[in-house]
Amino acid sequence: MPVTDVKHDLDALTLTITADFAAPVERIWQVYADPRQLEKIWGPASYPATVVDHDLTPGGRVTYYMTGPEGDKHAGYWLVGEVDEPRSFAFQDGFADLDFNPVPDLPLSANVYTFTAHDGGTRATYVSTYASAEALQQVLDMGVVEGATSSLNQIDDLIAA
């Protein structure tokens, strides 16, 4: 696993993950700039993503939906902020209905992705900030989980029951 560092800031509700990839910055940028590649990496195998609109420019929108194991669909959108190709981009990630209208009651997360040349490869820094603990919970309740965490979801279902 190329993850080199993880920071959880419980007060700022921020998750910062650093990863080193064995490919140049431009190659990692492509993963996000090409919707076909983005959908390959955004959702886990059990929740594959389909990217519909894709405009990775300031003020642009990226829309996607994820299809769950029961055929359930979960849509989301990015509102793209600052873009400094191929070094960094910022976006708000939010939930949408299946027509890609933003769901106003659901929280947005603020994200900044940064890619720098490092040791012949790329060091990627992913920073995601959530507005509140409730916002965090809603993000997780949307079913964007995999592997080890689906067990936690079963526990959640039980709490909700």
Partner 1 sequence: MAEEDARRVDAMFHALADRTRRDILRRVLAGEHSVSALAVAYDMSFAAVQKHVAVLEKAGLLTKRRNGREQLASGDVAAVRSVASMLAELEQVWRGRIGRIDALIASDPEQKD
Please give the full DSSP string across 90-108, using - where no structure is assigned. Answer: EEEEEEE-TT--B-TTSPP
Q: How far is the CB of 3 from partner 1 (least distance, A)?
A: 6
Q: Which is nearer to partner 1, 117 or 155 (CB)?
A: 155
Of 23, 27, 73, 31, nearest to 48 by C-alpha is 73
Give the one residue of 85, 118, 126, 129 binding partner 1; rule: CB under 8 A.
126
Q: How many residues bind partner 1 (CB under 8 A)?
A: 44
Q: Which is nearer to partner 1, 110 or 140 (CB)?
A: 140
Amino acid at 44: P
Under 8 Å between Cβ of 32 and 49: no
| Interface region with partner 1, contact rule CB under 8 A, candidates 59-67, 68-76, 83-91, 128-136 | 128-136
By CB under 8 A, the residues from 27 to 66 that bind partner 1 are: 27-28, 31, 37, 40-42, 44
Amino acid at 146: E
